Amino acid sequence: MTQSQTRPILAESRAWKTAVAPYQQPDLRRSVWQIVNTLVPYFLVWFLMVPAYRISFWLALPLIILAGGFTVRAFIIFHDCGHGSFFPSRRANEIVGFITGLITFTPFFAWRHGHALHHSASGDLDRRGDGDVWMMTVDEYLASPWWLRAAYRIYRYPLVLFVISPLILFLFVHRIPLKGRKRERRSVWLTNVALVMIVTLMSLLIGFKTYAILQLSVLGLAASAGVWLFYVQHQYEEVYWKRHYEWDYATAAVEGSSFYKLPKILQWFTGNIGFHHIHHLSPRIPNYNLEPCHNANPELHVEPLTLLQSFKCIRYRLWDEANYRLIGFGELKKIARA
């Protein structure tokens, strides 16, 4: 079933609520085991990475890549805690969310606030901006001054979007209490204080230079992978974007979020987040229940986006409202001449 074929099912019926309901209950045993098989290897890899780096950076590189993978997996746990889906207890979600937020350099409550806005407005052209990749429509781009068009082109350049911007986001933007209620702003400061303590302790134990090089390398890889995942989950050719008056939550969830079919090892490290259409349909489903929910409900199946196919998404830059699809700058020239 393609994504366009799901529209009648979702628009005319709310049976999907019944379909996803059995998978929304977290399993404490599975959640605890996921913490163990993520955080224990993460710290073990760090323990091995330091002596390897002191011999040679290249000897440490495979461990850096592995630590980056476990950081991504820790972020998925953090993400589930943000949705309140990882534990039955709200307090447990908040505690584990704060701890995994330190690993991923992300303040829990502030991120949770912004991410909730993303879920509530995903696919809505009139409510873009919170937790989204910056995306302009063709008309907006053509009507913009030269400096804004230049800034947009720079932002959407792959080196900037997937390498430079992720590091800036996780190292600096997440350090600033930009908006939200008192609790969101306070979570930024508490995370910053805790990170300063961690940096100080690690610098005393292994030296600042060693820690900085290893941490920046691990975080840089994980941040780039995370932004890439988020990008391909919402930036593919026939993705769903509608004006608010014709926007529908369930249709936006399934048609506006990809089924990113990854090799099993990458699916494990990314915590099944490739089943993103299921996740957006029901954020209350813990990551380990996303695949079972997908497999049990053929009516929610969509055309998968493979790893190889996903690299084509890099060329998409602008939303063509007239033709309901993303286009590249090359196609923009044809539209501008028309």
The predicted-structure confidence for 133-173, as pLDDT tens digits, reads as follows 999 999 999 999 999 999 999 999 999 999 999 999 999 99
Residue 337 has what pLDDT? 57
pLDDT digits (tens, 9 = 90+) for 284-298: 999 999 999 999 998
Report the pLDDT averaged over residues 308-337: 87
pLDDT band at 336 (very low <50, low <70, confident <90, very high): low
Rounded distance between C-alpha atoms, residue 329 and residue 335, angstroms: 10
Considering only residues 332 and 196, tell me which one the structure prediction assigns the higher pLDDT.
196
Spatial neighbors of 184 by CB under 8 A, at least 6 apart, are 107, 109, 110, 112, 113, 177
pTM: 0.92
The answer to whether residues 268 and 286 touch, using CB atoms and an 8 Å cutoff, is no
Report the pLDDT averaged over residues 65-94: 97
Residue 5 has what pLDDT? 45
pLDDT digits (tens, 9 = 90+) for 122-133: 999 999 877 789
The answer to whether residues 122 and 62 touch, using CB atoms and an 8 Å cutoff, is no
| pLDDT for residue 9 is more than 70 | no
| pLDDT for residue 326 is more than 80 | yes
Residue 309 has what pLDDT? 93
Q: Where are the domains of the chain?
A: 4-337
Spatial neighbors of 283 by CB under 8 A, at least 6 apart, are 83, 85, 119
| pLDDT for residue 1 is more than 90 | no
Report the pLDDT averaged over residues 102-113: 95
pLDDT band at 338 (very low <50, low <70, confident <90, very high): low
Rounded distance between C-alpha atoms, residue 323 and residue 327, angstroms: 10
Residue 3 has what pLDDT? 44
Residue 13 has what pLDDT? 53
Residue 330 has what pLDDT? 85
| pLDDT for residue 308 is more than 90 | yes
Distances (CA, A) of 309 to 278, 304, 315: 20, 9, 12
Spatial neighbors of 148 by CB under 8 A, at least 6 apart, are none
The fraction of the chain above a pLDDT of 90, given in percent, is 78
Spell out the alpha helix ranges (H) of 135-255. Answer: 138-143, 146-155, 158-159, 165-171, 182-206, 208-234, 249-255
Report the pLDDT averaged over residues 258-283: 95
